[in-house]
Amino acid sequence: MPPDPIAGASAAEQPILWLGMLGFAPQQRAQLEASITLPSGSARWRICDFGDADAWWVNGAMVRPMPDGTLKVAAGLPTERALKLNMSEVDRPVAFAVPLTSSDFAPPSTFDSTSQPSINAVLLQFEILLRMVRAQFVLGEQIIQRGAELRHGIFHISHRDALVAVLDFREGKAGFSVHLHPVGLRDAHWDKRPIGAGNIPESFVRTSLAELTWAYVRRTDRNLLEPRYRTEMIYYRHAPRVPLRWLRDSQLMLLRELSAEPGTLEALHQRTGFAVRHMEYDLSCLYYAGAITTTLSKAATSMATHDESHAPWLGPEMDSLLSVDGHSQHKRDLTVPASLERKPRRGVL
Average pLDDT over residues 62-74: 93
Asked if 22 and 80 count as a contact pair (C-beta separation under 8 A), the reply is yes
pLDDT in tens, 199-247: 999 999 999 999 999 999 999 999 999 999 999 999 999 999 999 889 9
Q: What pLDDT, on the 0 to 100 scale, is given for residue 304?
A: 53
pLDDT range class, residue 40, cuts 50, 70, 90: confident
- pTM comes to 0.80
Q: What pLDDT, on the 0 to 100 scale, is given for residue 332?
A: 37
Residue 157 has pLDDT above 50, yes or no: yes
Mean pLDDT of the chain: 84
Interatomic CA distance for residues 285 and 204, integer angstroms = 25
Query: Which residues make beta-bridge pairs with 65?
Result: 71
DSSP 83-131: EEE-TTT--S-EEEEEPPS-SS---S-EEETT-HHHHHHHHHHHHHHTH
344 preceded by a cis bond (ω within 30 of 0): no
Residues 6+ apart with CB under 8 A from 100: 60, 61, 63, 107, 110
pLDDT in tens, 257-315: 999 999 999 999 999 999 999 999 999 999 999 999 999 999 997 655 544 444 444 44
Interatomic CA distance for residues 193 and 340, integer angstroms = 43
Q: 100-114, 164-178, 330-344 — which is least confidently predicted?
A: 330-344
Residue 9 has pLDDT above 50, yes or no: no
Interatomic CA distance for residues 58 and 99, integer angstroms = 11
Q: What pLDDT, on the 0 to 100 scale, is given for residue 73?
A: 95
* CATH 3.40.50 residue window(s) in the chain: 5-129
Interatomic CA distance for residues 348 and 336, integer angstroms = 21
Count Cβ atoms within 10 A of the Cβ of residue 320 and give its class: 0-12 exposed, 13-18 middle, 19 or more buried. middle
CATH code for the structural domain at 5-129:
3.40.50
263: which DSSP letter? B
